[in-house]
Amino acid sequence: MNLTELNRIATAMVASGKGILAADESSGTIKKRFDAIGVESTEENRRDYREMLFRSKDAMSQYISGVILYDETIWQDAQDGTPLIKLIEQSGAIPGIKVDEGTQALPMCPGELVTVGLDKLAERLKKYYERGARFAKWRAVIDIGSGIPSMTAISVNAHALARYAALCQAAQIVPIVEPEVLMDGDHDIDRCYEVTQRVLDKTFQELRVQRVALEGMVLKPNMAISGKKCAKQASVEEVAEKTIRLLKACVPAAVPGIAFLSGGQSDEEATAHLNAMHKLGALPWGLTFSYGRALQAAPQKAWSGKAENVAAGQRAFSHRARMNGLASKGEWQSSLEQKAA
């Protein structure tokens, strides 16, 4: 393992003013997104849509540090025969790959899930590295509800995250460690804080047990935020203050950076929360975004599967990328959204 190189890549992934595009939707997820805009989810349409994003030169070169790909996408070529992964490299961004294989019901723990995909992961990582991937992603899912999460669910998912991270570093690939506490319930921000703290503490304990070099990884957590169904939604300022307090309590300074998931927040909410965190003063790690839907909802709608709309889709993507790039430096203002509308 070349830790110096892993650290260089991890640091580049969270460079100031840039963030990570999560374009790793599973076949099922991308179908739902395409259904919403009236586009058939064929391999060709998925290729064309992602090619549109990767050819958005302004967005990719200025605001995107890395792209998380799905297995199908990393092997695809653009319409002109150029591998999609090469388009990412040519923009100056780093190609990455989602390597988990989804979730299964966790035995003896009703309503809870465990992420799978460790079998033969070492062999898959070798092939992805040869293709050009320099980082990977694995997502664990923790739900909040009546009597959950259990310590069992937290422990097994943290253990799997750490095993995945160790395998990545052995393959000279930077692991994005993503323990996501879902915001789907009716819990308040303090309940989210408490559960996320337990999840992060257990995750870093397991990472140390598995001898993962913290200097060669990136954390992709949820923010401390109210559940979607909670009657009282926390303010932007409260989300920012509690999230930063939580991360400072749980995330060692050795970690080069943190790239948030959006987790179902609206486009502007995700941007505003990140911006507010950067208003709170100096931080011990890089702090940026790794958004999927919050970067892509607008360009998907603008594109709507039509070749004549590619430029409009790219403008929408560039706008959202720029807004989040500014937020990752604390320089975003809501008036910038209104000007673009």
Cβ atoms within 10 Å of 341's Cβ, excluding its own: 5
Reply yes or no on whether 202 is catalytic: no
The one catalytic residue among 178, 180, 202, 242: 178
8 A C-beta contact, residue 328 and residue 274? yes
Check if 178 is active-site. Answer: yes
**Residue 318: which H helix or E strand, with range?**
helix 310-327
Residues 71, 75, 80, 84: is their CA dihedral positive or negative?
A: positive
Helical H runs in 64-212?
71-74, 84-91, 121-131, 151-170, 189-209
Contact 303, 45 (CB under 8 A): no
Q: 318 is written with which tokens? A: 């560039």
What's the token pair of residue 309? 């709309």
The token duo for 232 is 């009282």
CB 121 within 8 A of CB 98: no
Task: Give catalytic residue positions.
Answer: 178, 220
